[in-house]
A and B are shown apart, each in its own frame.
Chain A
Amino acid sequence: MGPISSLIPMPEWLDLLIALLIGIGFGFSLEQAGFSSSRKLAGMFYGYDTTVIKVFFTAAIVALVGSQFLSYFGLLNLNLVFVNEFYVAASIVGGIIMGAGFIMGGFCPGTGLCALSIGKIDAMIFFLGGLTGAFLFAETYPFIQKLANGSYKGPVKINEVMGISPGLFTFLLIIAAAAMFWLAEIAEKRFARPDITNEI
């Protein structure tokens, strides 16, 4: 088994429809979990609310554990799963820009759209900023092309670079995540602010 669209030949509209439904589900859960509030997201940086790291890290780990078990039982072919390609320089520069935008805007691109769809004005400005950034990137691409394609490493996997089995890597990642959650809880107590759950 593998990604559905590569297994069953399906028309493009159906492929897009499935993507749309998954996207709506994703957006709805984000909204329900309170991620459309920039205060919750910014809390991550100030340490008073670490929900973001907990949620996203847990999601990644659950997906990792699930897909590896499915692959072990022969139900999922992990070789068909796309592995993102690694451009070292672009990742660092892009990461810094993205991080700066994140803390200034108070949203990440996904949650920004969530907040936009419930009518938050700051999210609309944030979205415009994102579009401007994309436009600038496209227009200046010839000048930054060298940087964007620089130090290309291909679709690498961390466990392969470390020379350990994928299962062991997962285990280490879970331990690391649990330790991080524990630290996050400590930080939440230390930098505590009044509860905002009822306001958002």
Chain B
Amino acid sequence: MRFRISDLSFFESAIYNPQSAIKKMEFIKKYKLVIVVVLPILILVLIRSAGLNHFKNDAKKWAEPSIKQSNRITIEQAGSLKKKSLTINLDKDVVRIRELTGDVQNIPADSVLRKNHVSMILKHDGPVMLFSSDPGLSARIWMILSQMGCRNIYILTNSSDNEVFKYKFRPDTLSN
């Protein structure tokens, strides 16, 4: 940004080269109005884009893996992962899953958004898997984390057929 007043070289030049400093002063004076409008907006934008306190991403784009179902992983598949995985157990009870080789962290769902937890998920190099005995809870938490910009997160389920219709409907043709 060229309007940075705190720029050190500006003060240096004010001491050593009065001519150019005066020019710069004039420039700032001329564009005072512009600076007064643009600078606060720029600062607000910077504050907003740096914070973790709100969602910034396109909802549809970051929900895409859930539509393609590429974000689901079964315990079996997880056992054969090559990269070091991080499993997050969202339940209050501690679970032990034998097949898992990587790190397992117990983070109850209500504290998953704590700063240190989010940064742990964001920094982890490799798949992060969410586990809960209720796959619906994993799904909800997955959506929040994904919308916050976490890539490489998966839902760990016991079986891959949660969304498969398991019954057969028998029409009652007599009632017509």
Do A and B come together as binding partners? Answer: yes
Please choose the segment from A30-38, A66-74, A185-193 that sits at the chain B interface, where 4 or more of its residues have CB less than 8 A away.
A66-74
Residue ranges of A at the interface with B (Cβ–Cβ < 8 Å)? 69, 72-74
B41 to chain A, nearest CB (A): 7
Binding site secondary structure of chain B: helix
Residue ranges of B at the interface with A (Cβ–Cβ < 8 Å)? 41, 44-45, 48, 54
A75 to chain B, nearest CB (A): 11
Pull 7 A–B residue pairs with CB atoms less than 8 Å apart, ordered by A. A69-B41, A69-B45, A72-B45, A72-B48, A73-B44, A73-B48, A74-B54
Docked CA distance A74–B47 (Å): 13
Docked CA distance A64–B48 (Å): 20
Docked CA distance A74–B44 (Å): 12
A38 to chain B, nearest CB (A): 34
Q: Which 7 A-B pairs have the closest CB atoms?
A: A73-B48, A69-B41, A74-B54, A73-B44, A72-B48, A72-B45, A69-B45
Docked CA distance A74–B56 (Å): 10
A27 to chain B, nearest CB (A): 28
A80 to chain B, nearest CB (A): 15
A68 to chain B, nearest CB (A): 11
Residues of A within 8 A of B44 (CB): 73
B5 to chain A, nearest CB (A): 23
Residues of A within 8 A of B48 (CB): 72-73
Task: For B54, give the chain A residue with the smallest CB separation.
Answer: A74
Docked CA distance A69–B37 (Å): 13
Docked CA distance A72–B44 (Å): 10
Residues of B within 8 A of A69 (CB): 41, 45
Task: For A69, give the chain B residue with the smallest CB separation.
Answer: B41
Docked CA distance A69–B48 (Å): 11
Docked CA distance A189–B101 (Å): 77
Docked CA distance A74–B54 (Å): 9
Residues of B within 8 A of A73 (CB): 44, 48
Docked CA distance A105–B54 (Å): 52
